[in-house]
Amino acid sequence: MSAAIAAAERIGFERLAWLTACLALALLAYVNTLPIWVTGLVAGTAALRLILAARGRGAPPRPLRIAVSLLAIGLLFVQYRTFNGLSAGTALLCLIAGLKLLETEARRDVYVVTMIVYFLSLAALLQGESFWLLSYLIAVSWLTTTALLRITSATPAIQWRSSLRYSGKLLAQSLPLAVAFWLFFPRFGGPLWQLPDDGGGATSGLSDSMSPGDISDLANSDEVAFRVRFSSATPPPEERYWRGPVLHDFDGQTWSRGEPVRVGVPRLLFEGTPYHYTVSLEPHEHNWLFVLDWPSEWNVARAGLTSDYMLVQPTPVVQPVDIVATSYSHAVAAETLNPVMRTRDTAPPPGNPRSLRLAEAMRAAHPDPLDYVHAVLDMFRHQQFYYTLTPPRLGSDPVDGFLFDSKRGFCGHYASAFATLMRAVGIPARVVTGYQGGTYNRFADYWILRQSDAHAWDEIWIDGHGWLRIDPTSMIDPQRVERGLNDIVRAGVPATSRWQQRTPWLSDTRLRLDALRLLWRQRILSFNEESQVKLLSLMHIPDPDEQKLALVLGFCLISGMAWLTWTVRGELTPRPRDPVTRAYQRLCRRLAAAGIARQPHEGAESYAARVARERPDLGAAVAALCRRYSDLRYAARPAAGEAALFIAGVRSFKPRGSRGSS
């Protein structure tokens, strides 16, 4: 007998092949992010192991395995310089999975491989956010669990289908508990410990610096930056400027945040219309949040304004987050400009001598700062400046090259040139990057801001007015906007975009899909402590807090376990589907409680006869019910409605007198 068990401990080719398939499916979620050689190595080890198993041989010799492992892990370290962090960690895990497969022989190794599959699935979800990814990985885990069931069972079911059905049933039964856990398990908001900075993850969207050409790269991206739903009136387009990084330092080529200045947040006097809205921000791996100019209130407790009115939080946005905020269309500075900030925002721009000369000349003609600003804007408006996604390359003095030679540029060029011209004459100016405009989704009443809506504009300080938003790009006559289809195609946008513009129904479908995505995002992805509190108050629990949450979770856990016990045990003796049978069983139970239990050999009629003998008071009612039951069961064609009458009759039949009273 013990020999048989030892044989069962070793796993054969078929089982190994299934295990490998499960692992491969889990790794599929990583193909995009893994270094190509890791994928290759894992595929290689899997193939090698399978070939060996197909020939009935065991794992390759131990020294070889150790050598390959050390080599691969060393290589990985050389590539990432760390094993900490999500991308290096998952790469390591994938590698270990492949190497583990190489030595998989006994049942113990099967457990290790399945556990790796589970963890890989989780790690993929830590960064992913799509419904499809979740469904896919649950399906992979289902398959893996089925493989585990078959490999660990001494007498497995013959058919894969029945194994799949069984493990699927187990997964289905675990759903209610999982939902309860998910809803009520306390969330902590922030990370439990500091996440190592992930070098591997590619970030998209705005960064904290801007070369004039940068934004034109974003213009080709369809990716969603955030979505906004206004709970108040929607601001007009000229007020929909979503504030992102504010840039101060200019080295002649690139604008950047520069060193932070240690001054308080200058107070603002809000004027104009208040706008209430919710920004559903996609993770962009930076600290800042996008809000409408000028933000006055927001619900992210950890976030605060910088001295240049950026809304930032201490940790990068790595998960979708909802920001409920209020902004005002206008704001006036309540105090004068701090000298430190003035110095920073009037730093003379290096290089670009022709621009500086032009600025001085214009300033001489317009002594009033506002007149000067209008003169510069008029220059953009009336001269032959063009707006294009594909500006020509500019030399070492890009502002000069743009203003005097090419006169073609993107919003970054205009913002940069304008700020240079302001600073040249001592007017404090800074470049603000963010998003502007957006697509309205009429199916669900919200705005989609894509990376292609990225924008750059300027803010200048005029004494007595405070910071004024100036968008020099908006001066360009629409006729001078060179943004045709051809431009987009040349820039490498996939052909689907052309399709979308030609087929309105397709863009409608896309909008509807996006509405679903927003729903998924808001309900699932950005579910947090506040949502839990809201949920508790929906459940009419007074003063919801963390403690109540834990209580509710505990209650759900206990009742969930009780439900499980009941359900799982109930499968031993399933309730009959047929309502008539169920009713008859109920009748028998009631009579048994009254002291006359039906004997296993008794049919309905003979049972009724005995009841009539032992309890004459019940006799007539029971006889009628049993008569009806017999008819339902044995009559060639029972009368219509008979079943309902029988069930109702049983329901209202309540024999008096308990056990032993007969």
Partner 1 sequence: MKRLRRAATLRLARWAARRHGRDTLPITINRRRIYIIPTRFGIALALLLVAMLLAGLNYNSNLGLAFGFLMMSLVLVAMHHCHRNLQGLIVDARTEVDAFAGGVARLEFVMHNDAAVARSDIEIRCGDVIAIHSVAAGSYHRAALELPVSRRGIARHERFELRTRYPFGWFRAWTYVQSPLTVFVAPEPRGGRSLPPATGGGSAGLSEQRGDEDFAGLRSYEPGVPLKHMAWKVLARGGEAAVRSYTAQAAQPEWLDWSALQDLDPEMRLSQLCRWILDSEHDRHTYGLRLPGAEMAPGKGAAHRLLCLRTLAEYPADTSA
Cβ–Cβ under 8 Å, residues 88 and 80: yes
Say how far apart CA 576 and CA 56 lie, in whole Å.
49
Which member of 17, 24, 139, 170 binds partner 1 (CB under 8 A)? 170
Of 193 and 505, CB closest to partner 1: 193
Q: How far is the CB of 97 from partner 1 (least distance, A)?
A: 13
Q: How far is the CB of 300 from partner 1 (least distance, A)?
A: 13
Q: Tell me: does residue 123 bind partner 1 (CB under 8 A).
A: yes
Encoded tokens for 314: 């201490």
One-letter amino acid identity for 334?
A
Tell me, yes or no, if 371 is annotated catalytic.
no
Length of the chain: 662
Reading the block at residue 14, the tokens are 């078929």
Site for partner 1 in 517-556 (CB under 8 A): 524-528
Instruction: Rule CB under 8 A: choose which of 45, 121, 433, 436 binds partner 1.
Output: 121
Quick check: 451 binds partner 1 (CB under 8 A)? Answer: no
Nearest approach, Cβ of 493 to partner 1 (angstroms)? 29
Report the first-to-last Cα separation within the chain, whole angstroms. Answer: 57
Token look-up 């390759």 returns 60
Question: Which range in 33-41, 150-158, 577-585, 651-659 contacts partner 1 by CB under 8 A?
Answer: 150-158
Does 154 engage in binding with partner 1 (CB under 8 A)?
A: yes
Q: Does 152 engage in binding with partner 1 (CB under 8 A)?
A: yes
Q: Among the options 109, 453, 455, 626, which is catalytic?
A: 455
Q: Which of 52, 93, 115, 597 binds partner 1 (CB under 8 A)?
A: 115
Give the range of 180-188, 211-219, 381-389, 427-435 binding partner 1 by CB under 8 A: 180-188
By the rule CB under 8 A, 145 interacts with partner 1: yes
Q: How far is the CB of 108 from partner 1 (least distance, A)?
A: 8
Does residue 353 interact with partner 1 by CB under 8 A? no
CA atoms within 13 A on the CB side of 255: 34
- In the bound state with partner 1, the residue whose beta carbon lies nearer, of 136 and 242, is 136
- The answer to whether 166 contacts partner 1 (rule: CB under 8 A) is yes
Beta strands 241-247; 291-292: pairing state: antiparallel
CB of 171 to partner 1, least distance (A): 6
Residue from 159, 571, 641, 652 that binds partner 1 (CB under 8 A)?
Answer: 571
Catalytic residue (choose from 308, 397, 458, 471): 471
One DSSP character per residue, 603-648 reads -HHHHHHHHHHH-HHHHHHHHHHHHHHHHHHHSSSPPTTHHHHHHH
> What CA–CA distance (Å, rounded) separates 390 from 410?
8
Site for partner 1 contains 175 (CB under 8 A): yes
Instruction: Classify burial at 113, counting beta carbons within 10 Å of its beta carbon; exposed 0-12, middle 13-18, buried 19 or more.
Output: buried
- Residue 141 near partner 1 by CB under 8 A: yes
Instruction: Label the pairing between strands 408-409 and 386-388.
Output: parallel
DSSP string, 156-173: --S-HHHHHHHHHHHHHH
Sign of the dihedral defined by the CA atoms of residues 53, 55, 57, 60, in that order: negative
Between residue 52 and residue 81, which ones bind partner 1 under the rule CB under 8 A? none
Options 47, 64, 126, 639; binder of partner 1; rule CB under 8 A = 126
For residue 384, give both structure tokens. 């032959």
Helix boundaries (H) for 401-479? 411-424
The half-sphere exposure of 168 on its side-chain side, counting CA atoms within 13 A, is 8
280 pairs with which residues across the strands? 227, 322
Nearer to partner 1, 86 or 533 (CB): 86
Q: With CB under 8 A as the contact rule, which of the stretches 145-153, 267-275, 348-356, 542-550 interacts with partner 1?
A: 145-153
Helix intervals (H) in 521-603 = 529-538, 546-570, 579-593
How many CB atoms are located within 10 Å of the residue 91 CB?
22
Our answer to whether residue 368 is catalytic in this structure is no
Find out whether 428 and 444 touch, Cβ atoms under 8 Å: no
325: how many CB neighbours lie within 10 A of its CB?
22
- The backbone region for 181, taken as left when phi is positive above 0, alpha when psi lies in -120 to 50, beta otherwise, is alpha
Give the number of residues in contact with partner 1, rule: CB under 8 A.
68
Q: Find the part of the chain contacting partner 1 (CB under 8 A) among 175-183, 301-309, 505-513, 534-542.
A: 175-183
Cβ-based nearer residue to partner 1, 137 or 310: 137
The correct pick among 7, 61, 193, 339 for binding partner 1 (CB under 8 A) is: 193
- Whether 455 is catalytic: yes
Kindly state whether residue 561 participates in binding partner 1, applying the rule CB under 8 A.
Answer: yes
Q: Which residues pair with 288 in a beta bridge?
A: 312
Write out the residues near partner 1 by the rule CB under 8 A: 1-2, 5, 86, 107-108, 111, 115, 118-119, 121-123, 125-129, 133-134, 137-138, 141, 145, 148-149, 152-155, 157, 166-167, 170-171, 173-178, 181-182, 185, 187-193, 195, 318-319, 524-528, 561, 564-565, 568-569, 571-574
Catalytic positions are 411, 455, 471
